[in-house]
Amino acid sequence: MMRSSQPLTGTNGRRCKEDEKLINATLRPGKRGYIIDTRSLNVAQQARAKGGGFEQEAHYPQWRRIHKCIERFNILQESLIKLVEACNDQSHNMDRWLSKLEASNWLTHIKEILTAACLAAQCIDREGASVLVHGTEGTDSTLQVTSLAQIILDPRCRTIRGFESLVVREWLQAGHPFQQRCAQSAYSNSKQKWEAPVFLLFLDCVWQILRQFPCSFEFNEQFLIMLFEHAYASQFGTFLGNNENERSKLKLPQKTMSLWSWVNRSEELSKFQNPLYEANSLVIWPSVAPQSLQLWEGVFLRWNRPSKFLDEAHEEMINIIKYN
């Protein structure tokens, strides 16, 4: 599986033979490849007027291009704002709550991302095909799809250390602009152009899979919530800046402490371990049916539900497993 930004074909249909040679070199004998474009066909065609575009079939005859539209930027941020507003409003009745939840389209975005990730995983697992994923810049929806596909396919990504490596490789090193995307929260009165809950949506998708396969992940829900919190506000330098170059220029590795060095301390690590975990080497296929997707209460309703009973239940579960 590969990821990239969009090809710069433009209106003149420019081509890059080096790119074509590189991508075709990944094909196995007798196999075809799939290009999963996370934009709609209409958006991809419009991008050509700005110098972008998509792969021409004539130049990639062994590749099939599939468009799986995943929304971007302001649409995602508006969705988050509407969802948070609905969750914090204690005055409405059941009909109004369900109406507001639906109007936010948050679970629809979750479904779109998981569907694209499952498609990428299916192409690899069931057809042995090469897969290239890209949107526009290749630093947002592209990373959501490639990361989730690896979690579906690779059991190592479901371990704590494996998931940490996944975040470093597919998000930090790949150039996801955390500073721009997570500049403010949904509670802010001002709206910044590049702000979007891309990483939060990814974590929500992981939680959906974790909920469906509770024994296949070494980490628990609290681990995902912790990553969400530190992406927006952290005393560590891991998520600061927009890319590796910025972090290097700011000398963040020398001036700040890594989040992972704190998480991986034995006294902290125990908080994030899943007591139900049993190593599962199989591919896990999450359901994306509407009935299977739920609102992530641990994040969006965290202030509306008492944690005391959840903590007690978690402790009791650990004791049952320990003494049986």
pLDDT tens figures, 267-306: 999 999 999 999 999 999 999 999 999 999 999 998 876 6
Q: What is the mean pLDDT of residues 191-219?
A: 95
pLDDT of res. 324: 66
Q: What is the mean pLDDT of residues 203-212?
A: 98
Q: What is the mean pLDDT of residues 65-74?
A: 94
58 has pLDDT over 70: yes
pTM of the predicted model as reported, rounded to 2 decimal places:
0.93
pLDDT of res. 186: 64
Q: Which amino acid is at 57?
A: E
Token code pair at residue 138:
């290749």
- H-type alpha helices, the chain: 17-24, 41-47, 73-88, 94-104, 106-127, 141-153, 160-167, 178-181, 198-212, 221-232, 244-249, 252-255, 259-263, 266-269, 297-300, 308-322
In a 13 Å sphere around the CA of 153, the CA atoms on its Cβ side amount to 19
Euclidean distance between CA atoms 193 and 180, whole angstroms = 9
67 has pLDDT over 70: yes
pLDDT tens figures, 212-235: 999 999 999 999 999 999 999 999
pLDDT of res. 308: 61
DSSP string, 150-180: HHHH-GGGGSHHHHHHHHIIIIITTT--HHH
pLDDT tens figures, 250-262: 999 999 999 999 9
